[in-house]
Structure formats: C-alpha cells, structure tokens
Chains A and B, each alone.
Chain A
Amino acid sequence: MQRSRALWAGIAAGVFAVIPLLTRDTFALRVVTEAMMWIGLAVAWDVLGGYTGYLNFGHGAFFGLGAYTTAVLMMRGHWPFALALVAGGVTAGAAAVVAGLPTLRLKGAYFAIATWALSRAVQQLALVLEFTGGPDGMRLPPFLNPMFFYYLMWALVTAIFVVLWILLERSAFGLKLQAIREDEEGAMALGLRPTAIKVQAFVLSTVPAGILGGVYAYWITFIDPASVLGDLVTDQSVVMAVFGGLGTLVGPAVGAVLIYAFKTFFWAYLSEYQVLYLIILGTVIALSVVFLPDGLIGLMARRRIKEPAEPEPADEDSQGLREVAP
C-alpha cells in the first residue's frame, strides 16, 4: 500500500522533472513552477491543518517572513541567494517556535483566528518598518532564468514532499499527530507530550513555507506587504488542501494542481471573464465542501471501493490510490 503510493508520487516527480525537456515555452515553465510552489504550500499547511487538526490561518505570514528575510539579507546584507534562502527557512521555523508555544494552547476556531491576527500584525509590521521598504516593498536583482527557478522549485518541493512523507507516513511522528487530532487528552494519557509535538509540527509546516517564500521573492523580483503578506497564500493553501483531501499528502497536492490549473487557464485564456472566475471558483469550493467532505481523495476512494460498513478514513484513501493504479 505504502509502496504503491510512493511509486506514484515518484512518477509524478519524474513527470515534473522532464517537463522542461519537452517544452521551450517559458510561460508554461513559469506556470508549472508556480504550480509546484502551491503544491509545497498546500502540503505544508496540511501538516498542521490536516494531520494535527490545527487550522493555521497565518500560513501566509511565514511565507512572507521567508520572502522578506531572503530579500532583506540579499539587498541590505549582500548575502548570496542560497544562504539568504536558508535563513528565510530558519526565520520562519524560529518564528513558529516563538509563536507556536503560546498559540498552540488555543483550540479550534480560536487558534485559527489567533494565527490570522498574528499574520495581520506581521503585515502591518512590514508596512511600518523602514528596512522592509514599508508599502513600497523591495526589489531584488532580476535573475530571470526559467530553468534555474524551475529546477530549484522542483528540488525543493520534492524534498519537502519526501521529508514530510517519511515523517508523516513512515514514522511514528505522523501517528502522534493524528492521535493529537483525534483526542488530545487521550494522547497525553498515552505519555505523549502534545505541546512539544505540536510545536514540531508547526515548525515542519512553516519552514517549507518560509523557504518557498524566499524563492518567490528572488523569482518574482518584487515583494511588498500586499503580495507576500496578504491573505492570498493562506486562503489558497487552505482551499487547495480541503479541496484535495485533508490529512493526506497526495490530496493537497492534487488540490493544488487542479485549482491552480483551473485558475491559470481561466486567467490566461478567458481574461475577459475574470469576475465570472470568482463566481465559479467560489461555487466549486462551496459545493465541494457539501458533496466531497473528504476532498477529491475521498471521492476516489468512495467510488472505487465497495466499502465495508465504516472504513477507517486513513485506510480509505490509500486503498483508493491502489485501486486507481492501472
């Protein structure tokens, strides 16, 4: 079961790896680069949101923190990109520890809104500080090599996926997270230390976001508080994860690809109907919650399995995956 899932993830990574060899179209490369970024963001969000059951509505803040750290170190500190990128990830992780320790005590909607308030505060901070450029944002030196960013993004997202897969699906850590999600007191009774585990999950979820933010900054060459610290990153990551299927790694990845592809297709070829896009996307999201409570992954599972009376959700998706395999 696990092997089949790994196989398919590997094939997907392989497909992404050869795309640049098949097309010279730099726009296509850009689109796929961004799609991979969203895969990374949605999957990382799901570590806390899906596996652990803590809805982080400040995901974008960590993305932005990474972007700003990278930009500030490159522009004000003259650091090389690679080092600044690492620093971006470290900053995001450190921020997760500092913010996580008190915040992860909150439950349900309170955690969601506390993280959201935190992300708003970070955005305001970037707007009023001097060294972030305030509302003017920051420009980075343009290094517009599509191949470089494509393979950088590919390598990072693959690495994120592999690390998360090992930790969440192949080790006890993933089970601990799910134990906390299902019954936090019960987990404590079993001798787990929920606080430490939750903070670890928070770090595991935010470091990828920070690193991807750093790549974004160098790739797009311009960041400002509205674009990297706004609601977009959080909102989109959450929607992609929910649409694809919470508490799995493949689900959010599929959700990310589909939503991003739909959005981009609409954007590129039906630009005149932009407002219609909002209506369609909104309706799709709302209906998917009503009819696909377990996301697309759940749909696959449901359709393919003659299900026994009450299947264990975790089994449900992986079996579904095996069934889909030809």
Chain B
Amino acid sequence: MRRLVAFALCAVLGVSPAWAQAGRDHFKVGVITSLSGDLATGGNVTKRGYDLWAKAVNEAGGIEVNGKRYPVKLYYADAQSEPSQGASGAERLATQEEVDFVLGPYSSGVTLAVAPVLEKYKIPMITGSAESPLIWRQRFAYTFGTIPPVNYTGSQPVGALAGLTPKPKTAIVLGSNDAFSKATAEAFKAAAEAHGIRVLKFNIVPSGQDLIPLLSAAKVLRPDVIAFGGHDEELINLVKALRQINYTPKALLMHYGVTEPAFVEALGKDAEEVFGASVWTPTLPTRGNLLWADARAYAEAAQKEYGVPADYTQAGCSAAGIAFQAAVARAGVTPPLDEGERRALRDALEALDIETFYGRIDFADQGEFYHANTGLEALTVQIQGGRPVIAAPAEFAETQPRYPMTPWNQRR
C-alpha cells in the first residue's frame, strides 16, 4: 500500500517535463481559466476567445518580431472556479511549462489568487474578462485587463436612460450577492442617484434566489427602471419572473449576460428591448491593424468557428492576445523570454496604445483603474431584432433606443 502511495506521488512529481528551452522557435502562452465548476460558462467563453486568437495568429505564421514570425502554443490550466486551483495552475505554467506570458482567468476571485504567483515569477498576464473593480485596486505590476471594470462601464447606460424622454424618475436596483454582480448593482445605484433618478429600493440578494416576491413588492412601487446585476441564469430568471407577474418597467437594465447569445435564445421575444452595458458589439465601428480589420470581420470569424455570435467577453479575450502580440513586437523580444525580456514586455504593455478590432487598448498606468483598459468607450446596448445593438452614446449608436419598453403582452 505504501508503494501505491509512492507510485501516486511519482505520477504527480515524476512527469515534470524538462523541455529544452533554448532556441525555442515559438511562444508558450499560458491560459488560466475556469473550464469547470460554477464559472464554467464564462470560462469557456474566454477559452473560445483565446483559442480563436491563437488560431488566427498561427494561420498568419505567428507573432511577427523584427521581421521573423513565431507561432504560439497555448498551455491550459483549469482553475476549476477555485482560487487555489488557479494559483496551482499559475505555479505549474510558470515553473514546469515556463510560459512566456499568460492569458488570464474569468472571475475576480481566481484572478486575485493567480496574480501574486505570477508577480513572483514576473510573468505578465492579461485577463480578457475579469470585470470586478477589486483587482485593479491591488495594483499588481504584471496583471492587465482588456475589459474595463464595471464601475467604469456601469454608469454609461444609466446616464443614457436618464437622457430619454419621458425621463425615468424612479428605479429599483437589485444585485446578486457575488463580487461582480454586487459591484454592478452599486455602480448602477451610484449612477442613478448622480443622474437624478430616485432609487426606491436597493437590495443585494443571495445568488440564485427566486426573486418573484421581491418583484411583486417592487411592482407596487411602479418603478420606471429596474436595474439588475447578476449572471446569465439569474438574468433569464428575472425577465421570466417579470413576465410572469406581468410588469413591464419603462426600461429594464442589466449588464453582462444580455449580450450573451444564450440570453436571446432562452427568452425569445421577451429578450427584446432589454438594455445592457457592453464595450463591444459585432457592429461597433473599429479599425484593427492586427489579425482582424474590424469588429465585423472578427464576428464573422467567430461565427464561422463556433456557430454562435461573439460577445464582448470573447472579443476581449481575443484582444488580450492581440495586446500581447503588439507588445511583444514593440519590445522586440523573442522566445523563450527570460526575466529581463518579460519585464520589457510588461513595460511595453504599460506603454501600449493601439487600435484593434475590439477598439482602443490603452492600459491605465495609475489611479483606481490601474492596468485596466481605459481606452474603450462604455456602450449602452439594447436587444433589438434578436441581437444586441448599440443604443448610446450617440457617436456609436446604430439606432434609436426603444423606450418605453413594449408591454410583455403586446409583443409579437
């Protein structure tokens, strides 16, 4: 039996691969994200984004540095939605695979456990999806993110709603009790108060809670706006609950998840006219110099690859790859990257300011958004005709926002 134990240990320990690192002609890119566990839905969206980038880069021959092209190879570490497994994954990618840089996790919790490990090994990481403001307050030197945090993006749609006629006067704001959703709800509330919309009710509720009693009570208050911070399943449940009690507010506002194809698929015509916050849609007018010429080209490639429309998380993840690509070229470093070259890469990321299919990427180098991408405009999107379209701000708007919302029972 002891031998069995020893054998089991060897299975874990013995397989440490000692690759010949010198003269490697490709970049080793770590991917830490949650492919299983509670966050697997989002995690797998990030994986699609990272995979699509790697495929496109390699089809073009690789990342171009000083006229020579180096392909990329992705090394996955499943964080299993657990911070500890994310940290283990980071350790493995850093020491066993000796990756050159890392594409990061889906949630803030995992990111907060992964970042210190990568700081220690001085490996730059860009996360394509973690949106909680918590990460950037820690001021990690090697951690960057392509999606601005929710307190940066959440206020835009509330401002846009406040500019509509008749102006909404009252709102109720609800948030699920997880880090991202709570931050979203708080951002909605702060923005509503700043724009003179009276918040009649502000509640943080346990994740997955059946909200129908709360909504029935809210219905009596007749709020003009219902704003909700939550995750995909909770958003679908909220719309269905409002449909069931037959209350149509003038505007229904959510954040991430509205742009996820599953939202429209699950709700059909009830998804119509729901507002959401985003930083990217397939129709956003952008011009990219690397891989994809604009948002539309990316959306087509994504549709072809996966058969479903791309949302902004997937796009942000592909853009994270592009940011590395640009920074590697700028730093002029070739694989394998040693510590000094990785530091140069980090500095190049901090100095980066590029236009991509995803929009502008410009990581903040100070302030509360330290190392988050503040090059983007926050967008207000609305589901129209079964897809998210940009409703505000005016310079990007594809269409007029439909407001007030068509009552549930008058929809065709």
Q: Which single member of B1, B96, B112 contacts A139 (CB below 8 Å)?
A: B112
Residues of A within 8 A of B272 (CB): none
Question: Is residue A258 within 8 Å, beta carbon to beta carbon, of the partner chain?
Answer: yes
Question: Is residue B5 within 8 Å, beta carbon to beta carbon, of the partner chain?
Answer: yes
| A248 to B: closest C-beta gap in Å | 11
Chain A at the B interface: SS class: helix
Q: Which single member of B35, B109, B182 contacts A227 (CB below 8 Å)?
A: B109
Residues of B within 8 A of A254 (CB): 1, 4-5
Residues of A within 8 A of B88 (CB): 27, 30-31, 34, 264
| A113 to B: closest C-beta gap in Å | 19
Stretch of B113-121, B274-282, B287-295, B401-409 at the chain-chain interface? B113-121
Give 1 or 0 for each of B73-97: 1 = CB within 8 Å of chain A CB: 0001110111111011001101110
Are the CB atoms of B35 and A274 closer together than 8 Å? Answer: yes
| A149 to B: closest C-beta gap in Å | 11
Are the CB atoms of A30 and B91 closer together than 8 Å? Answer: yes
Residues of A within 8 A of B138 (CB): 139
User: How distant is the Cα of A15 from the Cα of B174 in the complex, in angstroms?
Assistant: 54
A220-B113 CB under 8 A given contacts A23-B13, A31-B12, A278-B36:
yes
Question: Is residue A127 within 8 Å, beta carbon to beta carbon, of the partner chain?
Answer: yes
| B315 to A: closest C-beta gap in Å | 23
Q: Which single member of A144, A220, A271 contacts B83 (CB below 8 Å)?
A: A220
Residues of B within 8 A of A30 (CB): 87-88, 91
Q: Which single member of A11, A223, A227, A267 contacts B78 (CB below 8 Å)?
A: A267
User: How distant is the Cα of A12 from the Cα of B35 in the complex, in angstroms?
Assistant: 34
Residues of A within 8 A of B84 (CB): 34, 216, 220, 227
Give 1 or 0 for each of A159-183: 1 = CB within 8 Å of chain B CB: 0000000000000000000000000
Question: Is residue A191 within 8 Å, beta carbon to beta carbon, of the partner chain?
Answer: no
Residues of A within 8 A of B2 (CB): 8, 11-12, 324
Are the CB atoms of B113 and A144 closer together than 8 Å? Answer: no
User: How distant is the Cα of A275 from the Cα of B34 in the complex, in angstroms?
Assistant: 12
User: How distant is the Cα of A314 from the Cα of B8 in the complex, in angstroms?
Assistant: 26
Q: Which single member of B1, B11, B12, B108 contacts A321 (CB below 8 Å)?
A: B1
Most buried by B among A224, A254, A300: A224
User: How distant is the Cα of A19 from the Cα of B8 in the complex, in angstroms?
Assistant: 14
Question: Is residue B365 within 8 Å, beta carbon to beta carbon, of the partner chain?
Answer: no
Stretch of A44-52, A79-87, A128-136, A194-202 at the chain-chain interface? A128-136
Are the CB atoms of B96 and A27 closer together than 8 Å? Answer: yes
How many A-B pairs fall under 8 Å by CB?
137
Are the CB atoms of B5 and A257 closer together than 8 Å? Answer: yes
Q: Which single member of B15, B76, B113 contacts A272 (CB below 8 Å)?
A: B76
Kindly state the interface size class of chain B when it binds its partner: 35 or more
Residues of B within 8 A of A265 (CB): 11-12, 15
Q: Which residues of chain B in 3-35 are interfacial with respect to chain A, using CB atoms and an 8 Å cutoff?
A: 4-6, 8-9, 11-13, 15-16, 35
| B87 to A: closest C-beta gap in Å | 6
A23-B116 CB under 8 A given contacts A254-B5, A274-B35, A300-B1:
no
Question: Is residue B206 within 8 Å, beta carbon to beta carbon, of the partner chain?
Answer: yes
| B13 to A: closest C-beta gap in Å | 5
Question: Is residue A222 within 8 Å, beta carbon to beta carbon, of the partner chain?
Answer: yes
Are the CB atoms of B5 and A32 closer together than 8 Å? Answer: no
Interface residues of chain B, those whose CB is within 8 Å of chain A, are: 1-2, 4-6, 8-9, 11-13, 15-16, 35-36, 38, 76-78, 80-85, 87-88, 91-92, 94-96, 108-109, 112-113, 116-117, 119-120, 132, 134, 138, 177-179, 182, 206
Q: Sort A-B residue pairs by CB-CB distance and give the 9 closest, nearest first.
A: A142-B116, A261-B8, A222-B113, A271-B76, A27-B92, A222-B112, A274-B36, A27-B91, A28-B13
Of the A-B pairs whose beta carbons lie under 8 Å apart in the complex, a sample of 11, sorted by A's number, is A15-B9, A27-B88, A30-B88, A127-B177, A137-B179, A221-B113, A221-B116, A232-B82, A258-B8, A264-B12, A272-B76
Interface residues of chain A, those whose CB is within 8 Å of chain B, are: 8, 11-12, 15, 19, 23, 25-28, 30-32, 34-35, 124, 127-128, 134-137, 139, 142, 144, 216, 220-224, 226-227, 232, 250, 254, 257-258, 261-262, 264-265, 267-269, 271-272, 274-275, 277-278, 296-297, 300, 321, 324
A sample of 20 more A-B contacts (CB under 8 A), given A127-B177, A227-B82, A258-B4, is A11-B2, A26-B95, A32-B13, A35-B9, A135-B177, A136-B134, A139-B112, A220-B113, A221-B87, A221-B112, A222-B113, A224-B179, A227-B84, A257-B5, A261-B12, A264-B88, A268-B77, A271-B35, A271-B76, A274-B80
